[in-house]
Amino acid sequence: MAQVSSGQLSDEEKLHILQRHDQFRPWCSLDEKRYCLVCGEIITGREIRVMRDKGENGPQRVTCPTEDCNSTPMEWVWPTDDVLIKIAMVELECHHRRLIARAASAMRSLSKKKARNAIDRTRSEPPFG
């Protein structure tokens, strides 16, 4: 499977390839954007990879430009406001979760210290002294 380098394809050719392979959503320009449901990235028509399965004359395929993501046009949706809001929410949630995780680990080390102090105190002070 060889990747067709973008130098071999004119913008027009690539757009035609996209239009032929993406039967789900029409492409009017390579500058259009899609949201890849698999990797969660915004991709443009220009970035999309055109592959050939078997040599020069094999069937063409178009795949997501993201490394390790081999999604196909079926999984590319329009980045509507809804989608963009969802992306923002996910990012916010990730950020939020990282903050909570950091706070939790800080709390854990703090309570460990406190627990140690408590043990030290019970050792040095007899309970009924």
Residue 61 has which token pair?
Answer: 């395929």
- Give the contact letters, 46-85, x = binds to Zn ion (CB under 5 A), - = no: ------------------x-x--x-x--------------
**At closest approach, how far in Å is the CB of 33 from Zn ion?**
13
**At closest approach, how far in Å is the CB of 42 from Zn ion?**
10
> SS3 of 128, please?
coil
Q: Where would I find the H helices in the chain?
A: 11-21, 81-124
Q: How many C-beta atoms surround the C-beta of residue 35 within 10 A?
A: 19
Q: Which of 30, 38, 42, 77 binds Zn ion (CB under 5 A)?
A: 38
CA distance 101 to 119: 27
Q: Does 18 engage in binding with Zn ion (CB under 5 A)?
A: no
Binders of Zn ion: how many residues, by CB under 5 A? 7
Q: Does 39 engage in binding with Zn ion (CB under 5 A)?
A: yes
Question: Using an 8 Å Cβ cutoff, are 42 and 79 in contact?
Answer: yes
The residues binding Zn ion (CB under 5 A) are 36, 38-39, 64, 66, 69, 71
